[in-house]
Structure 1
Amino acid sequence: METLLDFAAGALTLGFLIVGLFFLRFWRSTGDGLFAAFAIAFALLGIGQAMLTFMEVRDEERSLLFLFRVAAFLSILVAIWRKNRQTN
């Protein structure tokens, strides 16, 4: 059962990184900072998931690794805030 969980965690990590590359491509073609924020956020989510999976951290020590998720969601929130504050 543990092998299946490791496989699913690896697939999730790969999915996060692929979606990050997808948004990076849109950022390169449009230059919109919101796409860059999503690319950074998904890269952070992928890195955090990979570290949780491959470092085999005990449950009580995982709270520091969740800071990757907090940073990812904060980058999205800041990008949305900046996008709404722009004057056209």
Structure 2
Amino acid sequence: MLPTTSSFFTGALAALYAVAGLFFLSFWKRTRDALFASFALAFALLAVNQTVLALGGLEREEQSWVYLLRLLAFLVIIAAIVRKNFEGRRRR
């Protein structure tokens, strides 16, 4: 794939991650549910990750510090789901 095409798709993916983050943020504003705030944060981290990839020109993403942003985003999602499941069990 050409470098400009790759940068275009990386930028488009960053924009879509940002839109998804804003979508979850709007749900959080209505419900004040921490799950939605966590998902908004995770998608913001993924958008930053893709933006750095697009602008940084890194050839091997998995061998750079940028990969840690993606890892942190997925850890936030996992922690939010686990927290939500434990909240549901305490209410019963």
Q: Same fold (TM over 0.5)?
A: yes
Q: 1:62 to 1:4 in 2, by over 3 A?
A: same
- Cα distance in 2 for partners of 1:11, 1:20 equals 14
Moved over 6 A (4+): none
Structure 1 counterpart of 2:21: 20
Structure 2 counterpart of 1:56: 57
- Matched to 2:36, the amino acid is F
Deviation at 1:29, TM superposition (A): 0.3
- Cα distance in 2 for partners of 1:61, 1:42 equals 19
CA RMSD of superposed structures (Å): 1.6
What TM-score, normalized by structure 1, do the two folds share? 0.91
Q: Give the unaligned 5+ runs of structure 1.
A: none
- Matched to 2:32, the amino acid is G
Deviation at 1:19, TM superposition (A): 0.4
What TM-score, normalized by structure 2, do the two folds share? 0.87
The answer to whether the 8 A contact 2:53-2:61 is kept is no
- Cα distance in 2 for partners of 1:5, 1:60 equals 13
Q: 1:8 to 1:61 in 2, by over 3 A?
A: closer
- Matched to 1:30, the amino acid is T
- Identity percentage over the alignment? 45
- Cα distance in 2 for partners of 1:46, 1:61 equals 16
Question: Between Structure 1 and Structure 2, how many residues are aligned?
Answer: 88
